[in-house]
Structure 1
Amino acid sequence: MDKNSNAYTFIFAIIMVIVVAVTLSFTATTLSPLQKENVRKEKMQNILATIGIQTSRENAEELFNKHITQQLSLNHKGEDKTEVNAFEVDLAKELSKPVEEQTFPLYIANYEGSEYFIAPLRGSGLWDAIWGYIALKDDANTVKGVVYDHKGETAGLGAEITTDWFQQRFVDEKIFNDKGELVGVNVVKGYSGGSDKDDNKVDSISGATITSDGVSEMIENRLKNYLPFFKKRQEIKVVTR
């Protein structure tokens, strides 16, 4: 066949497309188990990070199994749905269901002699989903630590929710106000409360008001679903605002 003909060019292009497609498909299929395993271990790292355990991916599972003493799958009444694996619950899918049908994962950790409650979070930022984990101390009120992530927030603005300096602001904040109402931790523009850890507020990210509001709403909206469990477990007086 004449290599300068249109037919040759057309056939060659088809063959190259097929070869590239097969190669990409094979690569994706081959790497898929490794990618899933990396995601699984990264999730363990994030959960552990909320209680102050920083670990490599290689050690994540060992430390997770050591310090996470319970994995609960709660219903809207605070009861454990033992048939559901908490670690495999997909919050993105759960949020599309009525509250009465949702599952609320909760991890109970023991670290350095203290007990912590770790809840996954998911909400909306400026451009797309934001998510993370929040750990509460054994009073089910004081924040031990948080981890946030996002899908498409603006670099240097909303994407700053992933930074240590922002996440550190939440440490020792309270999620209940002085009336026993669950209000979460409000990310407030121009906040001037300094180091006050009892006012349920932290300073927002400059120029990222919508993402900051999304963090506030995410914390309150997700944690209110754990009120039935905390009321039973902690014997604390709480009410829904």
Structure 2
Amino acid sequence: MNRNSNAFTFLFAIIMVLIVGAALSFASMSLKPLQVQNTIEKEMMSILGSVGVESTRDNAEGNFYEYITNRIVLNHQGEVVEERDGKIDADDKNEPFNVDVKKEFRDRQMTNEKKHYPLYVANIDGEKVVVIPMVGKGLWGPVWGYVALKSDYNTIYGATFNHQSETPGLGAEITEPFFTNEFAGKTIYDEQGKLVSIEVQKGGASPDAPHAVDAITGGTITSKGVQEMLERTFSVYDKYFEKNRTQTSQEI
């Protein structure tokens, strides 16, 4: 074939596209298990962070299986529909850990009745702690996090938050300990047993306020996004919390 012809040029381009495409496809397939594992470890670190267990990529999996004793999925009525313990199967569609709460939150066509609500049960120094994931909207994009409650299903044990694109030094500060540490010890029910959630209060909340924390200075919209996320998520888990709080009080 004449190497100076258009036919040769097109043939050469097609062959190169096929070779490069095959190489990229092979690389993507080869790296996928590592990408999945990295995602799993990152989520494990966030869950563990909400119960005060600091982890790295090296020990996140070991710590997770040591402290997280049970993984549950609830329906919108607060009823348990799936339950797992032991090692996570990344290919198990019913595995609570595999529920993509961010994807379900973005899907405006998915009704609450069809959504899945994961919950993690942890054992921290002999105390039962439950961890719930949540997702909401900040100023520039999604915000999300994990909030852990003590065995009374009322008192916050700890919290971790993250974001996609909030402003550095402002809304992005929701990830910092000075903000997340405020949540420990706060309660989400009032004295009458009514769910009141947590107010992220602009202008400063009193340290003694049982249901409020300080908002991020200059990050009003992000702070309100966190507050809305807390209120909406707690309201979904309210029936499950109430049932278990009643059982706990009866046992006492």
Quick check: 1:213 aligned with 2:224?
yes
Cα offsets for 1:151-202 (capped at 9, x unmatched): 1111111111111221111111111223322222111111241x2141x111
1:38 aligns with 2:41: no
- Supply the distance in 2 between the matched residues of 1:220 and 1:152 (Cα, whole angstroms): 22
- Indicate how the Cα distance of structure 1 residues 189 and 15 shifts in structure 2: closer, same or farther if over 3 A, else same: farther
Counterpart Cα distance in 2 of 1:8 and 1:206: 64
Q: Does 1:187 align with 2:212?
A: no
1:203-238 deviations in Å (ceiling 9; x for gaps): 1111111110000010110111111111211118xx
Q: 1:156 to 1:11 in 2, by over 3 A?
A: farther
> Does the CA contact (< 8 Å) of 1:174 and 1:197 recur in 2?
no
Equivalent pairs, count:
234
Residues 143 and 7 (structure 1), Cα distance of their counterparts in 2 relative to 1, 3 Å cut: same
Aligned to 1:67: 67
Task: Find the partner of 1:112 among 119, 122, 125.
Answer: 125
Bigger Cα displacement from structure 2, 21-30 vs 107-116: 21-30
d(CA) in 2 for partners of 1:22 and 1:190? 57
Instruction: Give the % identical residues.
Output: 43
1:51 counterpart letter in structure 2: V
1:56-83 per-position Cα deviation (integer Å, ceiling 9, x unaligned): 2222222211221211111122211127
User: How does the TM-score come out when normalised to structure 2?
Assistant: 0.82
For 2:42 and 2:103, how far apart are their aligned partners in 1? 20
2-structure distance, mates of 1:73, 1:2:
63
RMSD over equivalenced CA pairs, Å: 2.6
Q: Which letter maps to 1:215?
A: V
1-side partners of 2:115 and 2:137: how far apart?
18
Which of 197, 205, 208 in structure 2 is aligned with 1:196? Answer: 208
> What are the superposed Cα offsets for residues 113-146 of structure 1, whole Å, 9 maximum, x if unpaired?
1111100010001111111100001111111111
- Aligned twin of 1:239: none
User: Which 10-residue stretch deviates more, 139-148 or 81-90?
Assistant: 81-90
Q: CA–CA distance in 1 between the matches of 2:53 and 2:71?
A: 18
Q: Which moved more, 1:206-215 or 1:19-28?
A: 19-28
- Structure 1-normalised TM-score? 0.86
Give 1:91's aligned residue. 101
Deviations 1:11-43 (A, max 9, x none): 998887776655544433322210110110111
Which secondary structure state, in structure 2, belongs to the residue aligned with residue 172 of structure 1?
A: coil
- Aligned-partner SS, 1:78: coil
- Partners of 2:235 and 2:66 lie apart in 1 by 28
By how many angstroms is 1:110 displaced? 0.8
Cα pair distance change 1:50/1:13, threshold 3 Å: same
Match of 1:166 among 179, 204, 215: 179
* Equivalent-residue separation in structure 2 for 1:82 and 1:2 (angstroms): 63
The residue identity in structure 2 corresponding to 1:94 is E
Task: Give 3-state SS (helix, strand or coil) of 1:58's partner.
Answer: coil
Instruction: Measure, in 2, the Cα distance between the counterparts of 1:23 and 1:154.
Output: 38
The match for 2:82 is 82
Gaps in structure 1 of 5+ consecutive residues? 237-241
Any gaps of 5 or more consecutive residues in structure 2? 84-93, 248-252
User: 2: CA distance between counterparts of 1:82 and 1:203?
Assistant: 36
Distance, in Å, in 2 between the alignment partners of 1:123 and 1:73 is 19
